[in-house]
Amino acid sequence: MPFIETGIEGLKIFEPRVFNDERGYFFESYNYDVFRSAGINNIFVQDNQSRSTRGVLRGLHYQVGEYAQAKLVRCIEGEVLDVAVDIREGSPTYGQHYSCILSADNKRQLFIPRGFAHGFIVLSEVAEFFYKCDNFYSKAHEGSIIYNDPTFAIDWGMTEAEYILSEKDKIHPTFGAHRRFY
């Protein structure tokens, strides 16, 4: 199976089989049947893509209620450190995070089930980040947790002086301040 377990239920790394030759490479980035055989039955309805420069940190974001989203994320140019935080109340890994490098070179993807906060930081000079969502975005249902919450102690792989954050991402509440997640 092209899936790697992360130790957090439902959170899986997909490592596609890449066919290289003198012309370049080919790989199947998504196949519903392959994902379904790994227990991932989500139907993706929206694709998003961003381009960012080194040090841009986006996150930690999530959607609640009927607009909760599962995501299949990958980096199609450059390299990012991707982070998912389990915010499923009652989960044995509630409040735990998982991080991994996603890059154009390793072609890995991370499947993030509903009930996770998500963010990433760009480690290369530039990165293009692509993700599929199984639900539509709703501003009224968005939530966020501050990127440097001491509860998680996330090592973003850079010094805080190198981070480039939106004004919005600088002022998110802490994990402990939330009353309702997923």
Residue 126 to residue 55: CA distance in whole angstroms: 9
**What domain range is 52 assigned to?**
3-17+42-177
Residue 163: phi and psi, rounded to 5, are: -70, 140
Is 147 domain-assigned?
yes
Identify whether 12 is part of a domain.
yes
- Where does the pLDDT of residue 173 fall: very low under 50, low under 70, confident under 90, or very high at 90 and above? very high
Assigned domain for 24 exists: no
Q: Does the pLDDT at position 130 exceed 90? A: yes
Please report, for the domain that includes residue 61, its CATH number: 2.60.120.10
Vertex 66, ends 65 and 68: CA angle to 5°?
70
User: Would residue 61 count as lying in a domain?
Assistant: yes
> Residue 157 falls within a domain, yes or no?
yes
Burial, 66: exposed, middle or buried (Cβ in 10 Å; 0-12, 13-18, 19+)?
exposed
Q: Is 131 a catalytic residue?
A: yes
25 in a structural domain: no
Using CA atoms, how far apart are residues 52 and 80, in angstroms rounded to an integer? 10
Is 63 within a domain?
yes
Please write the tens of the pLDDT for every residue from 12-63: 999 999 999 999 999 999 999 999 999 999 999 999 999 999 999 999 999 9
Strand 116-122 relative to strand 24-27: parallel, antiparallel, unpaired?
A: unpaired
In the chain, what's the furthest Cα-to-Cα distance? 55
97 is catalytic: no
CB 120 within 8 A of CB 58: yes
Q: Does 30 reside within a domain?
A: no
Across the beta sheet with 116-122, the strand order is: 97-103, 79-86, 116-122, 57-63, 142-144
What total of structural domains would you count in the chain?
Answer: 1
Residue keyed to tokens 């039955």: 41
How far apart (Å, rounded) are the C-alpha atoms in residues 34 and 1? 9
Query: How confident is the model over 133-161, as a mean pLDDT?
Result: 96
pLDDT of 178 strictly over 90: no
Give me the catalytic one of 61, 97, 118, 172: 61
Q: Which of 62, 131, 147, 182 is catalytic?
A: 131
Q: If you average pLDDT over residues 65-77, what whole number do you get?
A: 97
